[in-house]
A and B are shown apart, each in its own frame.
Chain A
């Protein structure tokens, strides 16, 4: 019997998850239970393994340990997950228009031989409207600003009609207006019952944006509701001494 049993109401359950590259340890026995319907921030210093944790949970990075999504192995629940990559991970010179990116989110609905129906195109257009990008459907993805590109990737995630949204630094390199627009869409998704998990780097907005937090530094430093977990003392433990002084000052 495993030491912690997966709760039936959890969105993501992680137990003793480790990722090792030749010789070095990126993640060491990470444990977390992210509640369904929560907006969870993963925070920690550079090199803490935040992106690696997302990839390992999604099965995109070899790992040891357990990761369950909605109580099932990830491979069985991939259709319920939408992923928004880090901006730096995308090739912005790729020949693709905004509407095509969003339609990629609906690939499960079309499949290999399916046609992109007018209904599907309309659905993609609706997703663009929800992030305020409906006027840019025919633009090249590379011709947009950083904030606009991030909105398009959120629209692609919306087109998937997922229940769990996983975002890797969604606010990095975006303008203030986009950050406000993204957070309002994410909050409305949460209000509709979806679960949001985002790698986040701006400590000053954690309390305003999120209700649950996972403090990570290669292992779980702490995890729980923002109100009780996101404290100066735990932030100090996560980031090290200098940060503790800054946080308590």
Chain B
């Protein structure tokens, strides 16, 4: 395990750890702005709504003659149904409270996804073995190309958040003032949700879709205990997320059959608990 932590467990394992670190940084940063905008649950709905898309993308890939486990294809399918889930939440929110709409979309999309996955396992086509790793994540045996997708996706999201940090903070703090300052709050909300969707997609193979919300929310609420500015909070959250992603991927790679998602989330929770004890008056 020490070897894995020190990037000496081979080139692939090192690449996976770096990818998980960049994913963690992106999740912590995006989570900061999502929480300040009071939309944290939206990320959970989006994550669960990816599952039917993954099942459908697998079936389409098999129908086209592949083995079904083509990561960019699965991510595209996940993005389509997650976007559909998000659209459904926004439509339903006009008639229901937003938390009820979120719950309804989350559970129905996830249920449909589980049914699809069960059907796929029974069909015996393609190479469905291990498709369920998108639920809890697994970095063991990850392809080099997948690790590169994760690392570059995470880096792109971090860069976008850095560029947009001031407008995103202004919209979260006072949307009306932001609008009078020439910003478009609706468009910035959409961009933020798109970046969170990016985190969810990139995280599918690392934390899995069930626990990605923990990597988005926990580092951000932990960071709030330590800092008094938005940029500070996003930076600390990104640092915590990166650390958890890096160490979690290394531990998971060293211990056979240990899924990555739960390890990363337990690390993040431990840091949160320690921060609560050390900074009881803040937040």
Residues from chain B with Cβ under 8 Å of A81 in the complex: 180
Most chain-A Cβ atoms within 10 A of its Cβ — which of B173, B180, B183, B233?
A: B180
Is B228 within 8 A of A140, CB to CB? yes
Contact B230 A78 (CB under 8 A): no
Q: Provide the residues of chain B in CB contact with A140, threshold 8 Å.
A: 228
Q: Which of A45-91 contact B (CB under 8 A)?
A: 55, 58-60, 78-79, 81-83, 85, 90-91
Given contacts A112-B163, A113-B163, contact A83 B180 (CB under 8 A): yes
Tell me, yes or no, whether B40 is within 8 Å of chain A by CB: no
Please determine whether A91 and B173 come into contact, CB atoms closer than 8 angstroms: yes
Scan A202-230; emit 1 where CB is below 8 A from any B CB, else 0.
Answer: 00000000000000000000000000000
B127 beta carbon closer than 8 Å to chain A: no
CB distance from B232 to the nearest CB of A (A): 7
For the complex, what is the distance from the CA of A81 to the CA of B181, rounded to whole Å? 9
Closest to A99 in B: B229
Which of the segments B43-51, B147-155, B164-172, B246-254 contacts the partner chain? B164-172
> Does B274 lie at the interface of the complex (its beta carbon under 8 Å from any beta carbon of A)?
no
Choose among B163, B179, B233 the residue that contacts A95 (Cβ–Cβ < 8 A).
Answer: B233
Give B283's nearest chain A residue, CB to CB: A93
**Residues of the A chain whose Cβ atoms lie less than 8 Å from the Cβ of B229:** 95-97, 100
* Residue of B163, B177, B228, B233 touching A104 (CB-CB under 8 A): B177
Query: Is B194 in contact with chain A by the CB < 8 A criterion?
Result: no
Q: Which residue of chain A is the closest to B164 with respect to CB atoms?
A: A112
Q: Are A107 and B181 in contact (CB under 8 A)?
A: yes
- Interface SS majority for chain B: helix
Q: Does B97 contact A (CB under 8 A)?
A: no
For A21, list chain B residues within 8 Å (CB): none
In the complex, which residue of chain A has the Cβ closest to the Cβ of B166?
A107
A104 touching B170 in the complex, CB below 8 Å, given contacts A55-B176, A83-B177, A112-B163: yes
Chain B positions within 8 Å of A108 at CB level: 181-182
B174 touches A85 (CB 8 A): yes
B:174-216 near A, CB below 8 Å = 174, 176-177, 179-183
Chain B proximity mask over A91-125: 1 for CB below 8 Å, otherwise 0: 10011110011001101101011000000000000
Complex-state Cα separation, A108 to B244, whole angstroms = 38
What interface size band does chain B fall in? Answer: 20 to 34
B224 at the interface (CB under 8 A from A): yes
A156 touches B (CB below 8 Å)? yes
Whether the Cβ atoms of B232 and A95 lie closer than 8 Å is yes
Closest CB of chain B to A187's CB: distance in Å? Answer: 23
CB pair A96–B182 under 8 Å, yes or no, is no
Our pick among A78, A82, A107, A160 for the contact of B170 (Cβ within 8 Å) is A107
Please indicate the chain B residues that have their CB under 8 angstroms from the CB of A112 in the complex.
163-164, 166-167
Q: Is B275 an interface residue (CB 8 A)?
A: no
Q: Which residues of A have CB within 8 Å of B176?
A: 55, 58, 60, 83, 85
Please, which residues of chain B bring their CB within 8 A of the CB of A95? 36, 224, 227-230, 232-233
Q: Which of A78, A94, A108, A110 has the most C-beta atoms of chain B within 10 angstroms of its own C-beta?
A: A94
CA of A193 to CA of B147, assembled, Å:
61
Point out the residues of chain A lying under 8 angstroms from B233, CB to CB: 95
CB distance from B195 to the nearest CB of A (A): 15
Whose C-beta in chain A lies nearest to the C-beta of B224? A95
Complex interface: chain B residues within 8 A of A91 (CB): 173
Q: B227: nearest residue on chain A (CB-CB)?
A: A95
Chain A nearest CB from B243 CB (Å) reads 21
Q: Is the CB of B174 within 8 A of A90?
A: yes
CA distance in complex: A91, B176 (Å): 13
Alpha-carbon gap, A139 to B181, bound state (A): 24
Task: Report the minimum CB–CB distance from A91 to chain B (whole Å).
Answer: 7
A204 to chain B, nearest CB (A): 29
* Complex: A39 Cα to B166 Cα, angstroms: 33
What per-residue 1/0 map shows which CB atoms of B83-104 lie under 8 Å from chain A? 0000000000000000000000
Residues of A near B228 (CB, < 8 A) are 95-97, 140
Given contact pairs A60-B176, A110-B166, A112-B163, enumerate 6 new A-B contacts (beta carbons under 8 Å): A58-B176, A95-B233, A100-B229, A105-B177, A113-B163, A156-B177
**Could you show 8 A-B contacts with beta carbons less than 8 Å apart?**
A60-B179, A85-B174, A85-B176, A90-B174, A94-B173, A96-B229, A107-B182, A140-B228
